[in-house]
Every structure is written in C-alpha cells, then in structure tokens.
Amino acid sequence: MIDPRLITLRVFARCGTVSATAELTGYSPSAVSAQLRELQRVLGLQLLTKDGRGVRLTATGRFLVAGSDTLIADWESLRAAAMEAGDQVQSRFGLGGFSTAAAQLLAPLAATLRSTRPLLEVQVLEANPARCFDLLVAERIDLAVIVAMQSNTYGEDDPRFEQTVLLDDPLDVIIPADHPLASRETVTLEELASEPWITEAAGSTYHSLFTAAFTAVGVTPRIAHEAVEWETQIAFVGAGLGVGLLPRLAPLHSAENVVRLRITGKGKPARRIVAAVRRGSITSPLIQESLGILQMRANKIVSARPEDDL
C-alpha cells in the first residue's frame, strides 16, 4: 500500500548501493535507479548525492527513511487489524530462513499452510540472517526464522522489526558409535575436552557458538577439522575423525556410526532461534498462526530427540 519506490529507498538505505538494492528487491539496477529518480521528482526532494562511484543518501534522504519506519509499521498494523477484523488473510506469504532453521521449521510450516490454505501463495527463501532482515524491509518476505547472534539480532526497540523467541535450540554432542562414551546418555563438555573437534570454519555463523560453549566451561578445545555443512561434519564424525556439536534441530538422519548425546553440566550451550517480522504485522492472523505452528513444531523436535532419533 506504501509506494514501492519508498520501499526501494528504504532498502537502499540499508545496503547503500543501487546494485545491491536491485538484487534484494528483485529489480534490475536500471529500474532501481529510475525509481529513485522518480521518487525524488514526485516529492520534489533531493534524496541522493553522488559519492565516488556510487550514490549516498542526503540528510533529507536519511530523514525521510528514518521517519518512514513508523509509517510502514502503522500500515502493517492497520493491515493486520483489518485482516483480523475481516477474518481473512493475504494472498501471498513470504518466508525466509537460514540453513537448518529453514529446512526443519520453514519447510513444514510452508507445507502446513499449503494444505490448510490452498489458495495462499507461499514462498520460501533460504537466506542468511542479515539478508533475511533486508528481505523483510524489501517486503520480499513477511516472516523470517533466524539464529540470533549479537551481530545480526536487532534491539527490542528497533522501529523496523519485531522479534519473538521461538526456542533455545540446545547443542548436542555427536561422537563416533565406537567411542568409549557412545553408550552414555549424557556427557559434559569437560569429559570431551581432550577430543579432536570438528567445527565450522572460523568466522562462520556457528563458530562463535562453538567457542562460546567452551569458554563457558573454561576449556580450550583442539580443533582438528573444519566443515561447512552439517552433513559433512556428521560424515567426519562417522569416519572417526573426531567429535562435534550439533544443534538438536539439525537432523542426524540415519547416519551410520554416529551417536547423538545430550550435554549436561554447567555448560549447556544452545542457539536461540528467533522469528522476525516487520513491526506492526505481528498481530496479523497469518503471522500468529505461523508462529504457533513454528513453536509447536520446534518444541516437538527438540523434546523428541535424541531418543527417537535414528
């Protein structure tokens, strides 16, 4: 309902370049350029200035973008209230999420929605957390499921988003099936301190989670191997190369030679899974229903494993 050109401007304010804006919004760079030019013309305002080989927001532009936060939120709020009052939902619904979250939570959600609301057009986009927020601003998606990290999570008071904790996804240990501890039901990180560890590449989303878990118990683990995907990591463990941490949400499938154990003791690492929506839209019936489904699904998976796993 808000002029798409203003949305484009807001996306530009986030990413700073026309090309990136084009990529995020799904337009071509020319279209973004034309839209921004047209926006300035119709408002009679100079919003952009040349800056090197790129363009940059003017003070007026920044002012407009900042002020538009409440405008967008108000619209979302109004739309949500109208949906609720009319007992109807929108025709399109975009979901975004990262890796395991997307696979384990979003896919079932999308499937459920498709069956309960056949005429609803559901679209799922896999994207990392930062991009998810961009996609929310760009209105490509309406709901994002992300792993909360200091780097990507926004404050409670961010005027653009509203976030609700879905669950704290505990990290389990995966060890080779022939490992001495494999028959145990739970372990502590201290017991595994001297093991060779398999983790993600330093700087990746989950690596900081890994280090945080061990600094909590005062142990410095030895990193033997690095993997990018969970599947790879699991395979490494299965091959006896070491042990690793695996979020409970991540499925083991029926990997041979690998056992999942719960962690006990004072170091109980977990990653926080958060749902983010555009501010104001949280009361929308479809969002509410989706959050319920996600939460139910998440709790079921977390409480079920590892007993029922494999």
User: Which residues contact DNA by CB under 7 A?
Assistant: 4, 16-20, 26-31, 33-38, 48, 50, 52-55
> What are residue 167's DSSP bridge partners?
273
Return the axis-axis angle of helices 29-43 and 4-15, rounded to nearest 10°: 110
| Minimum distance, C-beta of residue 69 to its own copies, in the bound complex (Å) | 10
Binding partner of residue 6 among DNA, its own copies, none, CB cut-off 5 to 8 Å per kind: its own copies
What's the min distance (Å) between Cβ of 1 and its own copies? 5
Distance CA 136, CA 128 (A): 12
Cβ-based nearer residue to DNA, 37 or 222 = 37
Q: Does the footprint of its own copies cover residue 34 (CB under 8 A)? A: no
- The reply to whether 83 sits near its own copies by the rule CB under 8 A is yes
Count the alpha carbons within 13 Å of 30 in the hemisphere toward its beta carbon: 0
Stretch that binds its own copies, among 54-62, 193-201, 231-239, 253-261 (CB under 8 A): 54-62
* 49: Cα within 13 Å, side-chain hemisphere: 7
Residue 42: count other Cβ atoms within 10 Å of its Cβ.
10
Q: Which residue has the tokens 């079921």?
A: 300
Tell me how far apart the alpha carbons of residues 19 and 268 are, in angstroms, rounded to a whole number: 43
Which among 41-49, 148-156, 183-191, 262-270 is the span making contact with its own copies, rule CB under 8 A? 41-49
User: Quick check: 166 and 274 in contact, CB under 8 A?
Assistant: yes
User: Whose Cβ is closer to DNA: residue 49's or residue 164's?
Assistant: 49
Given candidates 19, 60, 257, 283, which one binds its own copies under the rule CB under 8 A?
60
CB of 17 to its own copies, least distance (A): 22
Q: Are 161 and 14 in contact (CB under 8 A)?
A: no
| DSSP output for 147-158 | E--TTT---TT-
List the one residue from 17, 70, 188, 211 that touches its own copies (CB under 8 A). Answer: 70
Contacting residues toward its own copies, per CB under 8 A: 1-3, 6, 41-46, 58-60, 63-64, 67-68, 70-71, 74-75, 78-79, 81-83, 85-86, 88-91
